[in-house]
Amino acid sequence: MPSVLWFRRDLRRHDNPALLAALDAARTDGDGEVLPLFVLDNALWTPSGDPRRAWLVRSLHALDSSLGSALVVRHGDPAVVVPEVAKALGARTVHIAADFGPYGVRRDASVAEALAADGRELATTGSPYAVAPGRVRKGDGTPYRVYTPFYRAWAAHGWRRPAADPDAWPEWVRRTHGPLHSQGIPAEPGLGGMALPEAGEDAARARWETFRADSLASYGDLRDRADLAATSGLSVHLKWGEIHPRTLLAELGDAAGHEVFRKELAWREFYADVLHQAPASARTWLDERFAGMEHDHGSTADDRFEAWTRGETGFPFVDAGMRQLLAEGWVHNRVRMVVASFLVKDLHLEWQRGARWFMTNLRDADLASNQHGWQWVAGSGTDAAPYFRIFNPVAQGQRFDPDGDYVRRYVPELRGIEGGAVHEPWKAPLLAPDYPAPIVDHREEREESLRRYAALKR
Ligand SMILES: Cc1cc2nc3c(=O)[nH]c(=O)nc-3n(C[C@H](O)[C@H](O)[C@H](O)COP(=O)(O)OP(=O)(O)OC[C@H]3O[C@@H](n4cnc5c(N)ncnc54)[C@H](O)[C@@H]3O)c2cc1C
C-alpha cells in the first residue's frame, strides 16, 4: 500500500526522516511507493508577501525536479485535500515533519482528525528543528524564558545524526496519480526588481559549503559587520527546510567560529520554543506589562512609519537597512536590530507594525524568529535587552559599517560622501543634496522613550 509524504517546511530529499518513515510504511504495507504531496493552502499563501511566495514557488520547482517531476501540488484546505488524496491513493498513512507554529498546530490537528474519521493516520517524524520545541525544559518542567540557560540545556540534550538517504532512489516515487493529477505550482509573483539568490536544496547545500570554507572560521569576529558578507545567508533555506539545522550541526566542530554559529542556530530553536509555549506572543507583548506603554498614533506617526518603510528617515544606517529589505528581501541581523529599535524607541510605534512590514518583505520571514526578534528589541520579549539600552543609529553605523560601504551600497544619494563620514551627512549637506534631513532628533526621542518607560514602571 503506498503512503503519502506531505511536504510543508521541509522541501528537501536529503536528511529527511519523514521521507524514510513514509518509505518504511509503504514497504511494510506493500509496494513501497510514496506519493510526494504539497498543498497550496490559502490561509498561508494569501497573507504571505511576494518575496516569500516567490521563494516558495522556486523551491517547489527545485523539489519537483529533484523528485523526477513527481510532486503532486493540490490547492485548497489541507483538512479536505489531504484526506482526499490519501483516500484516492488508498494510502493508510500520511507522513509529515511536525510544525510547531500556532497555525500549523491547529491545521495538523484538523487534518489528523479528518484522516482518523476515515481510518487513516497522520504520522509525524521529526521537525524543522534540531531539538523539537517543548522538549527542553527547566528542572521544574516549565519552559525557559532566558536564552543562555536554554542554550546550555539544548546543547546538553543534543540531537540526532542526519538521516540516511533513501535507498533504491528513485523507484519508490509514486508516478501514476490517476485522479490525483497535480494542479501545478502557482505562477511566481512579480518582484519589482528584487533579486533573490537561488532557491532549493542544492543551492542551500552550496551556500553552506561556501560559507563553511570562506567565513565560518572568522564568523565570531565578523558576523556583526554589515558591510561584509560574513554571515551564512542560510536563514531562508532553513525557513523552507531546504537544509536541516541537524545537517549543519553535524558538520560543526569546537573552534570559536563554530561555537558562535551553533549559538545562532540555537536562537532560532529558542524562539520556536517560546512561540510554541506562548502562541499569543505572535501578536501581543510576551511581557504583558508592555501593553500599557504609550505609543504614537495618528497622521504624524503614519508619516514617520511610511518614511521608515521607504528608507527615508534621514539616518543613513537605518535607511540602508530598510532599502536592503526592499532590494533583497533580507537584512543583516545587526541592522535588523537597529531599524527595529528606531521604530520602537525613536518613532514610538508598536513593534507589531514593524514586524508586519518585515513579514511582508523578508524572504526569510519566519513568525517565531521575527516576532521574537522584534519583542527582544522592544524590551517586551524573552531575555530582552533592557528597555533603557537604546541603540544610537549613528554610532551603530560607525561601529558596524566603519567605512560606510554598506550605506553607500543601498543609499545612492549618499555616494558623494567618502568613508565613515557618510553616517553624518548633515555635516556635509552640499555632498548629499537629495538626502532627507533626520525626521526626528535621536537625543530627544531617547529621552521621550525613557520617560514613557518610567511611566510604565510606575
Ligand atoms: C527584528 C528582527 C527580525 C528578525 N526576523 C527574522 C525572520 O523573520 N526570519 C529569520 O530567519 N530570522 C530573523 N531574525 C534573525 C536574524 O536577523 C536572521 O536569522 C539573520 O540575519 C539571517 O541571516 P543569516 O542566515 O546570514 O544569519 P547567520 O548569522 O549566518 O546565522 C545562522 C542562522 O542562525 C539563525 N539565527 C541567527 N540569528 C538569529 C536570531 N537573532 N534569531 C533567530 N535565529 C537566528 C538563523 O536561522 C540564521 O540563518 C530577525 C532578527 C531581528 C532582530
Q: Using a 6 Å cutoff on CB, does residue 353 contact ligand 1?
A: no
Q: Are residues 118 and 144 in the same domain?
A: no
Task: Report how far ligand 1's centroid is from the alpha carbon of 36 (Å).
Answer: 30
Question: Rounded to an integer, what distance in angstroms lies between the CA atom of residue 424 and that of residue 417?
Answer: 9
Q: Is residue 173 part of a domain?
A: no
- Whether residue 175 lies inside any domain: the answer is no
Regarding the beta carbon of 366 and ligand 1, being less than 6 Å apart is answered yes
CA atoms within 13 A on the CB side of 374: 26
What is the mean pLDDT of the segment spanning 284-313? Answer: 96
- The answer on 259 and 137 residing in a single domain is yes
Taking residue 47's Cβ as centre, other Cβ atoms within 10 Å add up to 12
pLDDT range class, residue 181, cuts 50, 70, 90: confident
Residues 143 and 256 occupy one common structural domain: yes
The tally of domains found in the chain comes to 3
Same domain, 322 and 449: yes
pLDDT, average across residues 279-289: 95
Average pLDDT over residues 9-30: 92
Domain boundary among 80, 107, 127: 127
In this predicted model, what pLDDT tens digit does every residue of 105-155 receive, in sequence order? Answer: 999 999 999 999 999 999 999 999 999 999 999 999 999 999 999 999 999
352 lines ligand 1 (CB under 6 A): no
Residue 384: its pLDDT value, please?
Answer: 66
40 within 8 A of 64, measured Cβ to Cβ: no
In contact, 339 and 309? CB cutoff 8 Å:
no
Residues 97 and 156 in one domain: no
CA atoms of 216 and 251, how far apart (whole Å): 11
101, 127, 153 - which closes a domain: 127
Q: Name the nearest CA neighbour of 19 among 104, 95, 122.
A: 95
Return the closest-CA partner of residue 183 out of 81, 104, 283: 81
Q: Are residues 297 and 273 in the same domain?
A: no
* Contact in structure between 30 and 1 (CB atoms under 8 Å): yes
- Is residue 167 included in any domain, yes or no? no
How do residues 328-377 score in pLDDT, each as one tens digit? 999 999 999 999 999 999 999 999 999 999 999 999 999 999 999 999 99
Based on the fold, state whether residues 133 and 113 are members of the same structural domain.
no
Last residue of a domain, one of 277, 308, 340: 277
CATH number at residue 80: 3.40.50.620
| Structural domain contains residue 255 | yes
The answer to whether residues 25 and 135 belong to one domain is no
Q: Ligand 1 in contact with 448 (CB < 6 A)?
A: no
Alpha carbon of 430 to ligand 1 centroid (Å) = 37
Least confident residue range of 287-296, 384-393, 413-422, 440-449: 384-393
119 is a domain residue: yes
Residues in a beta bridge with 4: 35, 94
Helix (H) or strand (E) holding 164: none
**265 with 387, same domain?**
no
Question: What CATH number is associated with residue 378?
Answer: 1.10.579.10
Q: How far is the CA of 364 from the centre of ligand 1 (A)?
A: 8
Q: Is 343 part of any domain?
A: yes
Residue 174 within any structural domain of the chain: no
Quick one: 344 and 387 in the same domain? Answer: yes
How is the beta sheet containing 3-7 ordered, strand by strand?
72-75, 34-40, 3-7, 93-96, 121-124
For the cut 80, the answer to whether the pLDDT of residue 31 exceeds it is: no
Residue 374 near ligand 1, beta carbon < 6 Å:
yes
Please give the Cα distance from 218 to 206 (Å, whole number).
Answer: 19
Q: Which domain holds residue 272?
A: 129-162+202-277
272 close to ligand 1 (CB < 6 Angstrom): no
Cβ(233) to ligand 1 under 6 A? yes
Q: How close is the Cα of 365 to the center of ligand 1, in Å?
A: 9
The per-residue DSSP string of 78-130 comes to HHHHHHHHHHHHT-SEEEE----SHHHHHHHHHHHHHHHHTT-EEEE---SSS
Measure the CA–CA gap between 291 and 217, rounded to whole angstroms: 42
Examine the domain organization and report whether 450 and 328 are in the same domain.
Answer: yes
